[in-house]
Structure formats: C-alpha cells, structure tokens
C-alpha cells in the first residue's frame, strides 16, 4: 500500500490537522485501521489522536482517497467528538418526541 498526501491543512480553531491522502493498493480495499496505521507511521502522527473520517474508493481503480483528522491531543479529539455525539442524541430525542 502506497500513501501520498494530497492536502494538509491546519485547523487551529479545532486543534487539528485535516489531511487528505491518496492510497494505492493491490487487491481488496484496505480496512480503516490499516489505512490509519500506515498513514500515522508515514506522517508521524499519534494514532490515538487520529480519526479516519471518510474513505472514497475511485471506481474501477485500485486507489482510494481518505480524509483524516489528526488532533493535537486525545483530549482535544474527545471534546470535538463528544459534542457531535451529544448533538446527534439531542436531535434523535427531539424527533422521537415530535413524531
């Protein structure tokens, strides 16, 4: 599996790097954990503070594009993802009451 960085942006407001990578492979599409492990090794990121947000497979090709968020710390990551989970739970609760 070969990994190349397409885009690397710093998002200081959320305390993270937003990294877009292209993955070239042979055989089946690599699992999320395999991509995370390889990218973290290559880019020198902390795997505990990195999330693979999305993987888009390119049709008919043995390559994919992935979006990763790498946070400054696990605490920063927990703060952002906790807010998302709480918001989704509140939306689900509101829709259950309404309908």
What range defines the domain where residue 9 resides? 2-98
What's the pLDDT at 98?
Answer: 64
Three-state secondary structure call for residue 22:
strand
Q: What is the CATH number of the domain that holds 11?
A: 3.30.70.330
- Quick: pLDDT tens for 12-26: 988 999 999 999 999
Percent of the chain surpassing pLDDT 90? 60
User: How many domains, in total, are found in the chain?
Assistant: 1
Q: 30 with 2: CB under 8 angstroms?
A: no
Q: 91 with 98: CB under 8 angstroms?
A: no
Name the pLDDT band for 9 (thresholds 50, 70, 90): very high
pLDDT higher for 70 or 77?
A: 70
Q: 54 with 66: CB under 8 angstroms?
A: yes
């Amino acid at each position: 599996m070969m990994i190349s960085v397409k885009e690397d942006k710093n998002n200081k407001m959320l305390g993270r790097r937003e990294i877009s990578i292209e993955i070239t492979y042979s055989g089946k599409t690599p699992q999320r954990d395999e991509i995370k492990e390889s990218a973290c090794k290559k880019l020198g990121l902390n795997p505990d503070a990195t999330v693979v947000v999305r993987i888009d497979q390119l049709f008919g090709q043995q390559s994919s594009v992935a979006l990763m968020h790498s946070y400054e710390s696990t605490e920063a990551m927990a703060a952002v993802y906790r807010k998302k989970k709480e918001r989704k739970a509140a939306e689900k609760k509101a829709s259950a009451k309404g309908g």
